[in-house]
Amino acid sequence: MPLFKKALFLSLILILLSGAGISGAAMILETKYSGIIQQGVTIAGIPLGGLNSAEAAKILENAISTPVSDTLELKDSGEIYLIKLSDIEGRYDYLSTAEQALEYSNEGKGVNQLISILRLRAAPVNMAIKIAYSEEKLANSIKNVQKEWDKLPKDAEVKLSNDKVIIVNEKNGYRVDFEKTLEQVRQALAEGNLHTEASGYILKPGITSKELEGINTLLSEYVTSFDASASDRTHNITLANTALNGCLLKPGEVFSLNRRLGPRLAETGYLKAPAFIGNSLALDIGGGVCQIATTLYNAVLLADLPVLERYSHPSPVSYVSPGRDATIAGDYLDLKFANNMDDPVYISSTVESGTLTVRIFGAKKSNSRVVKITSEKTIIEPNVITYQDNTLEEGDTRIKDPGKIGYEAKVYREVAVGGQVESKALISTDYYKPTDKIIIIGTKPKVNVKEKGAVK
């Protein structure tokens, strides 16, 4: 509108406000214009002054049948995600937009309404058509954005490459803020806007490369094997391996395997596999996790770290010699050790082709320092228990249970520097109870075949 016309309207406002007939004029305007959209209001560039909301909605629907685009564009940090309007039942809401225009152009009562009408003459307003949608489907679309854009942070890692220790830098993660993004999209659609920004935040990694700077050597490595075809047991080992891998233990800190792995339950993904219950093997949730404990335990011994808590199995296991095993159970049997070094240590654990490898990295000590684990074992023969059975003939002997030998195992840690033994310490003494050999002996008298035939 030309400047002189705007000035004219503002002058009229002042004249009316100063005149004695202002109240009457305001009442006339309120009666005449309260149900119609005022001049100066357009929607999507279409003039709708003088129409009621229903009439305006019809004109809009005839003029613009579909949104200008069939997608809503969501941006964040250079990424673009397109939400199809059809996926959220997106469509123009003509009536709601017209009602909003009516309300906007008739703000206030009496004098205030008069001012509002005159203001629109001086400064016209163009409104966008609102976009209606399914709230549930919009929320689902934002969840899909989360699936696409959410990324977990990645800790810095210590790896062994061609016998060389390398540090892999950390990476930040990202998470879409569901509630904020949903609200921003709602606001955009209410304004007829098909371009808006998502809202999110950075996820920081738990371990940074700076924290690993002092780690430059492999302190120890221990490998055990398992039957990869035993799928449920392999699943449990792999799950626990993932939880163990990448642990950083700072100077003075105490490591707890139970705390690191968390509960071994069906709800946390563990399956039933063979495990020791009492003195015998049976299916139990989390069976196989003790191989993680055993492999870690031996790596800890070789790294010359102090073991604070460790328990052996009731019977020897197949993957290490007696005295070298470790078991955990519930929250009452744990494997604990401390980092008594001046620098952090880092635990790496990998599963590949039926082998489990645990490595412990730390700061380099003397090149000539060697840690050796030795053991002594004494065989304990099983007791022989005999039972008589009068249903078996004399001289007939049956072995009901062959029994198992037991062991007493002593494990030592020997540290040598420059080829000279610096220390040799007893680490543990374990007793694996033998199981009795059970023999059944027949007591039923034998019948003489010849005598039996003479009987008539």
Q: What is the pLDDT of residues 431-449, one digit of tens each?
A: 999 999 999 998 888 876 5
Among 181, 172, 176, residue whose Cα is nearest residue 203: 172
Distances (CA, A) of 362 to 153, 192, 194: 23, 59, 54
CA atoms of 380 and 383, how far apart (whole Å):
9
CA atoms of 381 and 431, how far apart (whole Å):
13
CA atoms of 67 and 64, how far apart (whole Å):
7
Among 280, 272, 201, 184, residue whose Cα is nearest residue 236: 272
- Residue 390: both structure tokens together: 């009068």
Among 156, 205, 150, residue whose Cα is nearest residue 174: 150
pLDDT digits (tens, 9 = 90+) for 319-373: 999 999 999 998 899 999 999 999 999 999 999 999 999 999 999 877 778 999 9
Q: Are residues 386 and 441 in contact, defined by beta-carbon separation less than 8 angstroms?
A: yes
The one-letter amino acid at 67: P
Q: How confident is the model at residue 138 (pLDDT cuts 50, 70, 90)?
A: very high
- Mapped to the 3 state alphabet, what secondary structure does 82-109 carry? EEEHHHHCCEECHHHHHHHHHHHHCCCC
Segment 253-274 shows an average pLDDT of 96
Say what the pLDDT of residue 327 is: 96
pLDDT digits (tens, 9 = 90+) for 200-259: 999 999 999 999 988 999 999 999 999 999 999 999 999 999 999 999 999 999 999 999
Say what the pLDDT of residue 455 is: 46
Say what the pLDDT of residue 64 is: 81
Say what the pLDDT of residue 27 is: 47
Strand, coil or helix: 33? helix
The answer on pLDDT for 14 being more than 60 is: no
Question: Which of 4-13, 33-42, 53-62, 262-271 shows the lowest mean pLDDT across its residues?
Answer: 4-13
Q: How confident is the model at residue 105 (pLDDT cuts 50, 70, 90)?
A: confident
Asked whether the CA dihedral 37, 43, 48, 53 is positive or negative, the reply is negative
How many Å from the N-terminal Cα to the C-terminal Cα in the chain? 140
The answer on pLDDT for 15 being more than 60 is: no
Q: Within 13 Å, how many C-alpha atoms sit on residue 374's CB side? A: 9
Distances (CA, A) of 241 to 313, 348, 438: 20, 9, 40
Q: Are residues 313 and 293 in contact, defined by beta-carbon separation less than 8 angstroms?
A: no
CA atoms of 452 and 38, how far apart (whole Å):
127
